[in-house]
Amino acid sequence: MNIGDVAQLSGLPAKTIRYYEEIGLIEPLRAANGYRSFRESDLHKLAFLGRARSLGFAIEDCRTLLALYRDRDRSSADVKQVARSHLDCIDRKIEGLTEMRKTLAHLIDACAGDDRPDCPILADLATGDPAHHCGRQFG
């Protein structure tokens, strides 16, 4: 299979596949003309990578997961550890974003959004008014 074929089958852009080879995640063979020649196993790895990436695993995690996958003597605890630590990472991100979202939504709510210049959003950014840190908006 050429790169275009595996790109289509795996759903990954050809560029990404070349990049994955460059960083050693896959090692496709080469045909006489210099083209990469992908085996079923390469395609399988790429699909694995695509799914791991879509779950947000970092490339280095993907490398670890691939290694665990190929290791018949792995313990599922090792896999679970990787996944759990990634889950923690996701939770921290969600928490941070939710905090931002809350503050921002308050500010947007308080902004008239008309043609006058007065704007609580800018006022907050300028003064660091911590009003959004407590519950009451009209105290």
Residue type for position 94: I
Least separation in angstroms between residue 103's CB and its own copies is 6
Segment interacting with DNA, rule: CB under 7 A, options 28-36, 81-89, 90-98, 111-119: 28-36
Helices 3-10 and 14-22 pack at an angle, to 10 degrees, of: 110
Is there binding between residue 14 and DNA (CB under 7 A)? Answer: yes
Q: Enumerate residues 99-138 that contact DNA by CB under 7 A.
A: none
Which residues contribute to the site for its own copies (CB under 8 A)?
Answer: 44, 47-48, 51-52, 54-56, 65, 68-69, 71-77, 79-81, 83-84, 86-87, 90-91, 93-94, 97-98, 100-101, 103-105, 107-108, 111-119, 121-122, 124-126, 128
Closest CA to 46 of 64, 68, 62, 29: 62
- Torsion, Cα of 84, 87, 88, 90 (10° steps): 160
End-to-end CA distance of the chain: 68
Is there binding between residue 24 and DNA (CB under 7 A)? Answer: no
Residue 103 binding: pick among DNA, its own copies, none (C-beta 5-8 Å cut-off by kind): its own copies
Residues in a beta bridge with 94: none
Residue 29 binding: pick among its own copies, DNA, none (C-beta 5-8 Å cut-off by kind): none
Least separation in angstroms between residue 30's CB and its own copies is 26
User: What gap in Å lies between CA 5 and CA 16, rounded to an integer?
Assistant: 14
Residue 59 binding: pick among DNA, its own copies, none (C-beta 5-8 Å cut-off by kind): DNA
Structure token pair of residue 28: 């496709």
Residues in a beta bridge with 37: 29
Residue 131 binding: pick among DNA, its own copies, none (C-beta 5-8 Å cut-off by kind): none
SS3 37: strand
SS3 30: strand
In the complex, which residues of this chain contact DNA (CB under 7 A)? 2-5, 7, 13-16, 18-19, 32-36, 53, 58-60
